[in-house]
Amino acid sequence: MPTPDLVIAARDVRLTLGAPPVEILRGVDLDVHAGESVALLGASGSGKSSLMAVLSGLERATGGRVRVGGQEFGALDEDALAVARRGRIGIVLQAFHLLPTMTARENVAVPMELAGMADAWPRAEAELAAVGLGHRLDHYPAQLSGGEQQRVAIARALAPGPSIVFADEPTGNLDAATGARIIDLLFERRAASGASLVIITHDPQLAERCDRVARMVDGRLA
Amino acid sequence: MTSWPLVFRLARRELSGRFRGLRLLLVCLVLGVGALAAIGSLASAIGQELNARGRVLLGGDLELSVSQRTADAAELAAMRAIGRVSETIRMQSMAVAGDRTAPVQLKAIDGAYPLYGELTLADGRQVRAPRDEEAWIGEALSDRLGLKAGDRLRLGTATFRVGGVIGDEPDRLSEGFTLGPVVLVSSRGLARTGLIQPGSLYETKYRIAAPGRDPAAAAQGFARRFETAGWETRTRDRASPGASRFVERMGEFLALVALAALVIAGIGIGGGVSSYLEQRRGSIAMLKVLGATSGLVTRIYLTQVALVAGAGIALGLAIGVAATPLIGLAAGAVLPVAPGFTLQPLPLALAAAYGLLIALALCIPALIAAGRVPAAALLRGALDPRGGIGRTGAGLIAACAAAILGLTLWSSHQPLFAAGFLGAAAATFLLLVGLGAAIRAVAARLPRPRRPLPRMALATLHRPGARTVSLVVALGLGLTLFVLLAAIRTSLDGNIRRSVPERAPALFALDVPPDREVEFRRTVAAVSPGAEIAAVPLMRGTITGYRDVRVADLATIPEGAWALRGERGLTFSATLPAGSTLVQGRWWTAAEGRRALVSVDERLAAALDLKIGDPLTVSVLGLERTATIASFRRIAWDTLGFNFVLVFSPGALGDVPHNLAATIDMPAARAPAVNRALLGRFPSTSVIEVGGVLSQVQTVVRLMATAIAAAAGVAVLAGVAVLVGAIAAARAARRYDATILKVLGATRGQVLALQALEYVALSVATGLVALALGLAGAWYVVTQMFRFEWLPDWGTVLATLIVGAVATIAIGLLGSVPVLRARPASALRAL
């Protein structure tokens, strides 16, 4: 049985997609404790992003059990998974994926508005100020640099106060110096919020900053 | 449940201020709703005007009319018991001024005329009947004969002074089609002309002002009392049935064309919204990542679509309202009344409802698909949305379709026809969807060509995410419309040409006294030797009964039995008339012809289920005559000779006072000379030059063709918008291909050739189906709706189809030019 401080408990997780079917995850077991940071290392195609998708509720596992924040994800449909993410799970993606028609402030406020938080806007402003973008509140994504966009994405992931944050190669689209600053910022804000962190990376140095490193090989944890 | 204020907030944030991505939705709705609003408003305004002015147009609350006689004392007394009576007599005549002549509609009015409205002269004077030696003349006659007030003209044997030119004849519209302009004289003035003789063709109308009474009941009472006397009745609410029916029919046809345009625009709307939501896929997936449910996403984009649709509908309505008076001005002469600026709530509400329902029905699949974009789409771009549209979606679409059908049936005067039209539109759409799917399936199964370009062109037709179906639907509808329009247009043109027979008589003569037939023939032959003259007895009468049926007792006239309505020209003959073929029974011998027999048009016989030997009764000059049906004839209606539905034996009608009508076949150049010679000797005979009559008929057909072309033009515009939209939607995939191909070393020519191959393949397959569909539709409109002959010009139809297809390919290829111009590196960055 998972212990009470486990925020993620994955058992024998399997994911098979496509026609003809491709086995992407082949029985993954992973526990993540509250406040813990875990780096997922692995070669391209090893299944890191798919594991993250399953753990964050972006994808439903085709086998095994996934329990996140005390909820069994296997029993939830797409909409229930969306509701389960609200306010509890923050996600940072490699390609930023900001909503292009919304300003920085609106982008950060959206998940809190969806979660029904009354103070979405002041919190969005505070979080943007915390990532150093207090002067860019009303800028659209197209008016921001790559580093700034990723900072908005970090603010968006952390502003609702989630218990767990997923980051999928958050520096993959950035130069080394900007990437380093973004990682510092991510760890700093994560520490301030006390959330757990699962970060996918190719970078062993970045992985070493985490409490634990898990290596994916061919759809399994090595 | 997420609150609507949040939905609205997110929808507004996501929506570009300039409706970028949803402009096709806007344009299509503006076009479709605008056309519907304008046509509906115009037809409704004209209908209201005709109804409101009914008693003025009719010249009374009810009208009783009879041919070739006036009312007797008992009938007159019955009329006076209803209300105040005015008598007018109308006949065809010739006006002569010096050596110039013109056919005119001679109308004698009494002192009571007009009972309603005002008779106004062009100089503004409001007048009543002219003095006995004076005439008020129509403006067209004043122009044609160069007459002005004070000049003299001859009618029959009498000379009249022109008292003034008519500005407004209040009951003009209810008089219907006339040969030539009107001349008004007094009742005693008519008597001076000597034109009224036994057997002369004239119509007497009694208009009755009975403000407090129910005109329909009064008319019915009169008709029952004098049932066999051949009276026709009309009431103020049917003052100008011809004009009302024309406006109603034409309005309804044009409204259906506009509705078709809106349906086509709806497909553009569906396509536009679908490609907009495709572009939004990343944002939608991200919203899902952030916790948005499917329902919320659907509601966000539904709100956006509703906002843009609302703007499009409002703009369409505004354009419709603004266009109505302009159409009224442009159509001018063909409309019975020209409405100015008018706000017609019902047609506008209908247009808005259609716009909203069609937009909704065709956007639902795309909206539901948007709701189903999985969050994981961010990680795997090509993931298809899961599942179909679901039960709710299907239910909503069915509800919209039912509402559209219901609205159409409710608002139509011909619900069956309207339902058929919608059914045909839906079937066409489904057929094209099926064709698109079939092309995709066939392309997937064909062996792969060895050369790369054809191989890629084939692959673009069936690869995942291929737009084949939507392109085929758009292309198919566009090309079908082109074919339909070309076939209708050329068929109407063909009918106009056909209405001038190769050997048309040059002149018609009415009211030739039968005892002077020989003199008539000699007079013509003296001026134009060799002229062929066909003269037949002509009288007017109504069918009052057949078998054991009284026509007055029929609740409705059987389909196809139009001859039962009102008066017909009747004749009698010892021999089978030219242009007729016997199909059943036999022609009477001279001996048999002394009995009362009749030969009937085969179509009327079929409509009334008549058999040889059945009795048939007509009322002529107020008296009933019954004859036994001896034969059925097929009539060649397209010859411009005398064609009679009923031809009697001499024994049936020979004793009825009558005149002769004649056609004179000769070179048209001699017509004026013959005309003059006849007028000198036969002052009571009206001679009509056929050319003038034909040009009147042709004008009406031409105006109809123009109206159809204008309405279809809107549909074509909608079709073009859909095509451009579908091609634009498919362009994203083309751009990707083109860029990668260029990176790999393809020349611009090769890339263009690849795309041209794809479009040509689609155009050829779709063009053939469009040809069949368009021709079927056009055939129905031409032959079944308007009862014209099917005479399309095949060359023009095919040329239109080919030009349409080539233009489509050109539009598609033009869209690729910017991509082809760009260097591969910069194009790659833009991917």
Helix (H, G, I), strand (E, B) or coil at B332: helix
- Within 10 angstroms of residue B149's Cβ, the number of other Cβ atoms is 16
pLDDT band (50, 70, 90) for residue A1: very low
Tokens standing for residue B830 = 């833009």
Domains of chain B by residue range: 1-53+256-413, 59-238, 425-502+698-831, 532-665
What is the helix (H) or strand (E) element at residue B457, kind and residue range?
A: helix B452-462
Report which of B69, B107, B66 is spatially closest to residue B206, judged by C-alpha positions. Answer: B66
Q: Does B296 touch chain A (CB under 8 A)?
A: yes
The DSSP annotation for B624-693 comes to EEEEEEEEEEEE-TTSSS---SEEE-HHHHTTS--EEEEEEES-GGGHHHHHHHHHHH-TT-EEEEHHHH
Report which of B213, B216, B212, B247 is spatially closest to residue B234, judged by C-alpha positions. Answer: B216
Q: Is-contact A2 A11, C-beta < 8 A? A: no
Q: Is-contact B546 B615, C-beta < 8 A? A: yes
Q: Does A101 touch chain B (CB under 8 A)?
A: yes
**Which residues, in sequence order, are CB contacts of B37 under 8 Å at separation 6+?**
B316, B317, B319, B320, B321, B347, B348, B351, B352
Q: Is-contact B815 B726, C-beta < 8 A? A: no
List the single best residue of A56, A78, A107 to mutate versus B (max B Cβ within 10 A): A78
Number of cross-chain residue pairs from A and B with Cβ atoms under 8 Å apart: 78
Q: What is the pLDDT of residue B572?
A: 93
* Structure-derived torsion over alpha carbons of residues B451, B457, B463, B465, reported in degrees to the nearest 10: 150
Q: Does B2 touch chain A (CB under 8 A)?
A: yes
Q: Does B387 touch chain A (CB under 8 A)?
A: no
Q: Tell me whether residue A102 is in a domain.
A: yes
Task: Select the residue of A53, A59, A86 nearest B291 (Cβ to Cβ).
Answer: A86
Write out chain B residues lying below 8 Å of A101, CB-based. Answer: 13-16, 283
Residues of chain B below pLDDT 50: 382-383, 385, 826, 829-831
User: Which whole-number Å values give the CA distances from B427 to A52, B80, B424, B773, B785, in the listed order?
Assistant: 48, 59, 5, 10, 19
Q: Tell me whether residue A4 is in a domain.
A: no
C-alpha B99 chain-centroid distance: 41
Write out chain A residues lying below 8 Å of B290, CB-based. Answer: 85-86, 110-111, 114, 156
Report which of B135, B251, B255 is spatially closest to residue B190, judged by C-alpha positions. Answer: B135
Peptide bond into A20 cis (omega under 30): yes
Q: Tell me whether residue A43 is in a domain.
A: yes
A114:B292 CB<8 A: yes
Q: Is-contact A95 A167, C-beta < 8 A? A: no
Q: Tell me whether residue A16 is in a domain.
A: no
Q: At what angle do helices B452-462 and B690-743 cross, to 10 degrees?
A: 110
Q: What is the pLDDT of residue B240?
A: 61
User: Which residue's structure tokens are 């106004």?
Assistant: B120
A58:B14 CB<8 A: no
Write out chain A residues lying below 8 Å of B21, CB-based. Answer: none
Task: Select the residue of A58, A86, A102 nearest B379 (Cβ to Cβ).
Answer: A58
Q: Which residues pair with A164 in a beta bridge?
A: A89, A196
Interface of A with B in 29-68 (CB under 8 A): 49-50, 53, 56-59
Q: Is-contact B316 B32, C-beta < 8 A? A: yes
Tokens standing for residue A90 = 């923050």
A50:B9 CB<8 A: no
Write out chain A residues lying below 8 Å of B375, CB-based. Answer: 57-59, 78, 81-82
First to last CA, chain B: 38
User: Which whole-number Å values give the CA distances from B389 to B287, B371, B395, B697, in the listed order?
Assistant: 20, 10, 10, 54
Query: Buried b vs exposed e over B412-440: b needs ≥16 C-beta within 10 Å?
Result: bebeebbeebbeebeebbebbeebbeebb
Q: Does A153 touch chain B (CB under 8 A)?
A: no
B375:A78 CB<8 A: yes
Would you say residue A195 has pLDDT above 90?
yes
Q: What is the pLDDT of residue B808?
A: 77
Write out chain A residues lying below 8 Å of B2, CB-based. Answer: 114
**CATH number for A163:** 3.40.50.300
Give residue A215's domain range.
34-48+84-221
CA distance linking residue A111 with residue A87, whole number of Å: 7
Task: Select the residue of B10, B288, B379 nearest A82 (Cβ to Cβ).
Answer: B288
Using the Cα atoms of residue B666, residue B670, residue B672 and residue B673 in order, give the sign of their dihedral.
negative
**Which residues, in sequence order, are CB contacts of A119 under 8 Å at separation 6+?**
A112
List the single best residue of A93, A110, A164 to mutate versus B (max B Cβ within 10 A): A110
- What CATH topology corresponds to B532-665? Barwin-like endoglucanases (2.40.40)
Report which of A95, A26, A94 is spatially closest to residue A54, judged by C-alpha positions. Answer: A26
List the single best residue of A76, A88, A99 to mutate versus B (max B Cβ within 10 A): A99
Task: Select the residue of A83, A110, A115 nearest B293 (Cβ to Cβ).
Answer: A83
A114:B13 CB<8 A: no
Question: Which ipTM was obtained for this model?
Answer: 0.76
Beta-sheet pairing, A22-33 with A212-217:
unpaired
A110:B287 CB<8 A: yes
What is the helix (H) or strand (E) element at residue A66, kind and residue range?
A: strand A63-68
Q: Does A195 touch chain B (CB under 8 A)?
A: no
Task: Select the residue of A49, A82, A98 nearest B291 (Cβ to Cβ).
Answer: A82
Q: Which residue of B has its CA nearest to A94?
A: B379
CA distance linking residue B28 with residue B718, whole number of Å: 6
Using the Cα atoms of residue A49, residue A51, residue A56 and residue A58 in order, give the sign of their dihedral.
positive
- Report the number of distinct structural domains present in chain A: 1
A102:B14 CB<8 A: yes
Q: Does A69 touch chain B (CB under 8 A)?
A: no
Task: Select the residue of A86, A93, A156 nearest B378 (Cβ to Cβ).
Answer: A93
B273 CA to chain A: closest CA distance, Å? 17
B283:A93 CB<8 A: no
Tokens standing for residue B466 = 């291929």
A100:B295 CB<8 A: no
CA distance linking residue A58 with residue B287, whole number of Å: 12
Helix (H, G, I), strand (E, B) or coil at A27: strand
Would you say residue A28 has pLDDT above 60?
yes
Q: Which residue of B has its CA nearest to A91?
A: B289
Tokens standing for residue B244 = 């009302």
Dmax over CA atoms of chain A, in Å, equals 50
Q: What does R_g of chain B's alpha carbons equal in angstroms? A: 34
Q: What is the pLDDT of residue B689?
A: 74
Q: Tell me whether residue A66 is in a domain.
A: no
Report which of B465, B440, B487, B309 is spatially closest to residue B758, judged by C-alpha positions. Answer: B440
Q: Tell me whether residue A23 is in a domain.
A: no
CA distance linking residue B139 with residue B180, whole number of Å: 11
Report which of B98, B165, B102 is spatially closest to residue B130, judged by C-alpha positions. Answer: B165
